[in-house]
Amino acid sequence: MPVFIGQDVTRIDALDKVLGRAAFAYDLKTDDMLFACVVRSEKPHALIKKIETARALSMEGVAAVLTHIDIPGENSFGAIKKDQQFLAKDRVRYVGEPIAVVVGVNEEVARKASGFVRIEYEELQVISDPFVSMTSPVLIHDEGNLLSHRKVIKGDIEKGFNESDVIVENTYRTTWVDHAYMETEAGLGYMDDDGRIVVVSSTQNIHYKMKEISRMLAMPPERVRVIQATTGGGFGGKLDVTVEGFLALCVYHLKRTVVMRFTREESFLAQTKRHPLHIEYKTGARKDGSINAVRVNITGDTGPYISYGETVCLRAAVHATGPYEVPNVHVDSRMFYTNNPVAGAMRGFGVPQLAFAHESQLDKIAGILNMDPLDIRIKNALRRGSLTATSQALEHSAGLPETLKRIEPFWRSRERQNDRRGFGLGCMYYGIGNTGVSNPSDCYLTFMPEGRIALHSGVCEIGQGSDTVLMQILCESLAMDDEKIVLLRGDTDTSRDAGSSSASRQTYISGMAVCDAAQKMKKYLEKEGYYSGRPLTDICEAALGKGDAMFEGHFDPPTTPVDMETSRGAPYATYAFATHMTEVEVNEVTGACRVVKVHAAHDVGRAVNVKNVRGQICGGIAMGIGLALMEEFSPGKSKSLDDYYMPTSMDMPEVEAIIVEDREPTGPYGAKGVGEPALIPQAASIVNAIKDATGVEARELPCHIERLKLLLEARRQK
């Protein structure tokens, strides 16, 4: 019997994708479908006085113009809280907020007509800065401008600083980043023969969207079906409802097939972004390099709606110390509403921003103490038995020391090829799954009439490779070839809720749910004689005849809610760990920084699919280069990929991926996750490498050519 775990199994979607056969949402479009587009607010903060749709409606080829009055159920959605309107009723809070949907016979007609929907506004005072929001009498929501304030408190912070020999204090700033997935938000909706609403879309979660549609249309969830189309990237941006609500509303009223696709400009304008964080960071350490106290004050701009703002607020706080054992911690993390773009989930939920801060701090301390940056990390690294900042004891799978050890030979033998080169380290830890809340995954297995087994999975494959990984886990658990297994994925009709493809959780959590179902089925198969040679077709037939057809799998990682005052608790069942070592070359004349080489060591618990893990690591590094060196979304200025610079393949360094496997006993075959971890330490290691190469310290990201040149000039003038 072949082994599946730890193998370079070719992705099951590979061939379809390279041959161009995979159908993305918009590929499903045919000529007879209607096209819908969104009329969006042109004002950052205003009351809506009037919405005039008559002119657009009278245009030839226009099938409908829908506004908030056409929503039969609740006009609200939100992953965490239902605070956002599908279609704004009387007030808008950001440029790009949806107000109406125009449906036409084709895209040209719909877009043209949408220009004739007239909105009358009464403008309100705009808040575009969280520090203004903090004290402003202008309220973006009646409850006030503070969305969330989370704290992490451990030990005695005053005492910690008093007993420190070195104290380093700095402020770090990051900005908005766009997900910039290759495929913009898209989908289509239709009514099936039973009169149910069906939405097929590019998404990271289907069951959540089914529920939102059901609430919006005041229809029971069984009357709504959501199917995931092949999805061209997510990174957190397709967690929120994008096209799905509009499509369902159009189908509800028109009973026809309707398709949507955002333009790149629209996606830039209206979709969520990474949170800009302002991080005041104070670190105290003893002479021997041990970190004694960490005080962090995070102020975030969450935009006008919650989206994942609370999640980022908390996750940034509990990860603020970095992967180090710190006895005295005090973190305040606060998110304020503004009239800027809605900031939501993006790969790492605030942790990449914090990694930039804590890794810069650590290098600074090492510099003052004349310690090697690697040694100071080894000294403070979380390991088995350590207490995290939330006082969670790490009982197993804590491979940070091992990642450092694997990087060590490269670090110790590093040599500068020229004086423009430099090397930097970045470490991270990342809690797998949602923070301190239940986040289960369910799946089931059935026998198929044709004599195969079906895996019913609600896990969205967004390019990260979950389809392949779950199949590998199932094959291994059943000791069965993949030819005997059919994957039925991403359809609310044929699967259970697996939760979102986010928080690096699917391999770990849904993988475990698959193991659970497989164990039950395996017992059955054993009993039925499969492993002693009875053909599967036989067993299937008999089982279907008896009605023994379903084996359910479930897993919810063991976590505890964190304390509201101190965040004490075990917010995650397991953590991933990583160390990146990055070599850069800085052109002091132009300020251009080229990333030459990255050694990336990741403790993933177990690499179910080695190629996939490497792929995630390379992708994370690319995104980290963007975060560190180029990506900067300026509201009102950044319009498209023409002026928003993100790395191309020519900006990619050579990557050496090093996989560390400190097995996680609660994970499938020991696996944890790597999706977000791959990105998190990269920007930090680049900034530290720039410091090594040039002596300048970047405290604001992105450190693009202009910012870096100005820093170099300032250093020169000193």
Partner 1 sequence: MLPDFASIIAETKEEALSCLSSLERAKVIAGGTDLMVKMRSGERYDHIIDITNIRELDGIAVKDGVVVIGPVATHARLGSDAAIRENAPGLALACSLVGSPQIRNMGTIGGNIVNASPAADSIPPMLIHDAMLTLESKGSSRKVRLEDIIVAPYKTSINTRELLGPVEITSLKGYREGYFRVAKRATWAISRLSVAWAISEEEGTFKDVKLAIGSCTPMPFRAVKVEGLLRGEKRQPGIIAEAVRIALEEIKLISGIRPSFAYKLPVLRGILENVLGGE
Residue ranges in contact with partner 1 by CB under 8 A: 107-108, 111, 588-592, 594, 630, 642, 645, 647-648, 650-651, 704-706, 709-710, 713
Is the CB of 288 or the CB of 706 nearer to partner 1?
706
Sign of torsion over alpha carbons 613, 614, 618, 619 = negative
Closest CA to 673 of 381, 469, 487, 496: 469
Q: How far apart are CA 418 and CA 590, in angstroms?
A: 17
Supply the minimum distance, in Å, between the C-beta of residue 714 and partner 1.
11
**Using an 8 Å Cβ cutoff, are 605 and 667 in contact?**
yes
Supply the minimum distance, in Å, between the C-beta of residue 592 and partner 1.
7
Q: What is the 3-state secondary structure (H, E, C) of 684-702?
A: HHHHHHHHHHHCCCCCECC
Bridging pattern class, strands 258-261 and 34-40: parallel
Is the CB of 29 or the CB of 150 nearer to partner 1?
29
Q: Which residue has the tokens 């097939």?
A: 257
Supply the minimum distance, in Å, between the C-beta of residue 579 and partner 1.
26
**Exposed, middle or buried: residue 296 (CB in 10 Å: 0-12, 13-18, 19+)?**
buried
Is the CB of 153 or the CB of 686 nearer to partner 1?
686
Supply the minimum distance, in Å, between the C-beta of residue 581 and partner 1.
21
Residue 577 has phi, psi (to 5 degrees) of -135, 150
The two structure tokens encoding residue 32: 């007879």
Q: Assign residue 144 a region (left: φ > 0; alpha: ψ between -120 and 50; beta: otherwise).
A: left
Q: How far apart are CA 715 and CA 701, in angstroms?
A: 18
Is the CB of 18 or the CB of 650 nearer to partner 1?
650
Is the CB of 93 or the CB of 421 nearer to partner 1?
421
**Using an 8 Å Cβ cutoff, are 703 and 628 in contact?**
yes
Bridging pattern class, strands 654-660 and 592-603: parallel
Closest CA to 598 of 464, 407, 361: 407
704 CB-near residues (< 8 Å, 6+ apart):
591, 629, 630, 632, 645
The two structure tokens encoding residue 708: 């870096």
Is the CB of 6 or the CB of 647 nearer to partner 1?
647
Inter-axis angle of helices 207-217 and 244-254, nearest 10: 40
Supply the minimum distance, in Å, between the C-beta of residue 64 and partner 1.
20
Is the CB of 90 or the CB of 713 nearer to partner 1?
713
Is the CB of 437 or the CB of 655 nearer to partner 1?
655
Is the CB of 320 or the CB of 593 nearer to partner 1?
593
Supply the minimum distance, in Å, between the C-beta of residue 376 and partner 1.
32
The two structure tokens encoding residue 94: 């950001």
Supply the minimum distance, in Å, between the C-beta of residue 21 and partner 1.
23
**Using an 8 Å Cβ cutoff, are 238 and 462 in contact?**
yes
Supply the minimum distance, in Å, between the C-beta of residue 111 and partner 1.
6
Supply the minimum distance, in Å, between the C-beta of residue 112 and partner 1.
9
User: HSE of 461 in the Cβ direction (CA atoms, 13 Å)?
Assistant: 24
Supply the minimum distance, in Å, between the C-beta of residue 420 and partner 1.
13
Supply the minimum distance, in Å, between the C-beta of residue 418 and partner 1.
14
Supply the minimum distance, in Å, between the C-beta of residue 341 and partner 1.
22
**Using an 8 Å Cβ cutoff, are 566 and 151 in contact?**
yes
Is the CB of 108 or the CB of 123 nearer to partner 1?
108
Closest CA to 669 of 604, 624, 618, 583: 604
Q: What is the 3-state secondary structure (H, E, C) of 379-408?
A: HHECCCCCECCCCCECCCCCCHHHHHHHHH
Supply the minimum distance, in Å, between the C-beta of residue 211 and partner 1.
35
Closest CA to 152 of 354, 348, 319, 286: 319
Q: How far apart are CA 573 and CA 571, in angstroms?
A: 7
Q: How far apart are CA 83 and CA 310, in angstroms?
A: 13
Supply the minimum distance, in Å, between the C-beta of residue 328 and partner 1.
42
Is the CB of 254 or the CB of 705 nearer to partner 1?
705
Is the CB of 58 or the CB of 590 nearer to partner 1?
590
Is the CB of 162 or the CB of 590 nearer to partner 1?
590
Question: How many residues are present in the chain?
Answer: 718
Supply the minimum distance, in Å, between the C-beta of residue 649 and partner 1.
8
What is the separation of C-alpha 303 from the centre of its chain, rounded to a whole number of angstroms? 18
**Strands (DSSP E) found in 133-257:** 146-154, 166-173, 186-191, 197-201, 224-228
Is the CB of 580 or the CB of 704 nearer to partner 1?
704
Is the CB of 20 or the CB of 220 nearer to partner 1?
20
